[in-house]
Copies of this chain bind each other. A is one copy, B any other.
Amino acid sequence: MLSNTCKYGIRAVIYLAVNQIEGKKIGIKKISEELTLPAPFLGKILQMLAKKKMLASTKGPNGGFSLAKDAEDITLFDIVEAIDGTDVFEQCMIGLKICEDDKSKEEKCPFHEKSSVVRTKFYNAFKQQTVKDFSTGIKNADEILTF
């Protein structure tokens, strides 16, 4: 479904939203320990997101990462788009030829209608769910975010 890289990114961004303190940054080491995932790899992922202006980073002591915008303005879709791209929302789920909704019905496969309904719901779920939904909804973040 989503790559591990992307899942790590999602967990990290949620972690930042849940634990953010106005004006402070959180370091890679801290995040990677809490989420029990490899620090250097996490670094790369967060760098990606920083480049896309979803996160802000500062170097040096007390440096680290923080959300670059309001948690309510970051959706799951945004994170997936930044890391895995949008293929998962667009491509044919079963790998058949062109799977586009704007084709005449004759050209579509028998699975097409059901398939596109599911894919739309999938897309909407990711587009609607903001990071803020997690930070307000999660009490025991550790239980949910860690492994």
Give complex CA distance A136, B147 in Å.
Answer: 46
**Contact assessment for B137 and A94 in the assembled complex, using a CB-CB cutoff below 8 Å:** no
Q: Is the interface of A mostly helix, strand, loop or mixed?
A: helix
Q: What residues of chain B lie closer than 8 Å to A29, measured between beta carbons?
A: none
A10 within 8 A of B: yes
Given contacts A110-B133, A111-B134, A125-B114, contact A146 B97 (CB under 8 A): yes
Q: What residues of chain B lie closer than 8 Å to A50, measured between beta carbons?
A: none
Q: Mark A113-143, 1 if CB is under 8 A from B, else 0.
A: 0110110011001001100011011110001
CB-defined A-B contacts under 8 Å, sample of 24: A1-B88, A1-B93, A2-B93, A4-B95, A7-B94, A7-B95, A8-B95, A11-B96, A76-B94, A97-B143, A97-B146, A97-B147, A107-B144, A109-B134, A109-B144, A110-B129, A110-B133, A110-B134, A111-B129, A111-B133, A114-B128, A118-B118, A121-B121, A122-B122
Residues of A within 8 A of B (CB): 1-2, 4, 6-8, 10-11, 76, 88, 91, 93-97, 106-107, 109-111, 114-115, 117-118, 121-122, 125, 128-129, 133-134, 136-139, 143-147
